Amino acid sequence: MDSAELLDLLGNENRRRILRLLARKPCYVTEISEYLGVSPKAVIDHLRKLEEANLVESRTDDQRRKYYFISQNLRLEVSVSPYGFGAKSAYPASQSLDVTASCRHLKIDVSTRDPADLSDIASELTRLDQLENELSMAQRWVQGRLAAVMEQLGERLDVEDTRLYADVLSALAEGAATTDEIAAAVDAPQPVVREALNELEASGILARDGEEWQLTD
């Protein structure tokens, strides 16, 4: 599901509360209605929207009562800073994914093991909860360092719209050389990129050799 659509869907507090409840246990409409303090009709409308988004499903029990439950694992991340805004959603990766190979900067112990009994399962659950907390702290640290580096870049370039200049420099560092290549890499209009390149050249940070640009330091 598109991240923007997911944000719109979860912008409603009652829908968030429904998911919070269903994350604990499957529920009937009447249970959800009592929990939220709203009418069953309103609950059904919220559930319908969550079902259309494939976030919840329903089943009928032996007493022919319909109950609802969360249908899949989904992670939504939103980043808001003076240097950028973005949202992305992702489904859990396969258990066979070698995260240490794809995330070369990750130093946290992400070894896997197959629990043998209930005691092992409980221990593994505790370990994974701790790992989730560590990863959350690591994300906060990265965001803090990113903000600090962007501030340093802004001071060095004496500009306010640091994000564009940072993207241009990153594109150059990754191998883009011509204005067309850089514009494609940063997903910005060529006139805007060309102006940024000229300003960086005037500051002595970039130099041009024919059609190609390069860092001077």
For the chain, give the mean pLDDT: 87
Q: How big is the chain by its Cα radius of gyration, in Å?
A: 24
User: For the structural domain made of 159-215, what CATH number should be given?
Assistant: 1.10.10.10
H/E element, 37: none
pLDDT single digits (tens) 42-73: 999 999 999 999 999 999 988 888 999 999 88
How many CA atoms lie within 13 Å of 188's alpha carbon, on the beta-carbon side?
Answer: 18
| Eight-class DSSP state of 23 | T
Q: Are 206 and 216 in contact (CB under 8 A)?
A: yes
If one counts every other C-beta atom within 10 angstroms of the C-beta of residue 180, the result is 13
pLDDT at 7: 92
Question: Residue 117 is which amino acid?
Answer: D
C-alpha torsion angle, residues 147, 181, 103, 121 (rounded to 10): 90
Domain boundaries, the chain: 3-70, 93-151, 159-215
Cα–Cα distances (Å) from 87 to 20, 28, 75, 90, in that order, read: 21, 32, 11, 10
**DSSP string over 71-128:** -S--EEEEEEETTEEEEEEEPPPPTT--HHHH-TT--S--------SHHHHHHHHHHH
Q: Could you tell me how many helices (H) and strands (E) the chain has, helices first? A: 9, 7
- Domain 3-70, CATH class in plain words: mainly alpha
Share of the chain above pLDDT 90, in %: 42
How many CA atoms lie within 13 Å of 201's alpha carbon, on the beta-carbon side?
Answer: 13
pLDDT at 160: 67
Q: Model confidence at 122, in pLDDT bands (50, 70, 90)? A: confident
pLDDT single digits (tens) 163-172: 888 889 889 9
Q: Model confidence at 179, in pLDDT bands (50, 70, 90)? A: very high
Give whichever of 20-29, 81-90, 143-152, 194-203 has the largest mean pLDDT: 20-29
Higher pLDDT, 13 or 205: 13
Same topology, domains 3-70 and 159-215? Answer is: yes
pLDDT at 121: 86
Average pLDDT over residues 6-22: 94
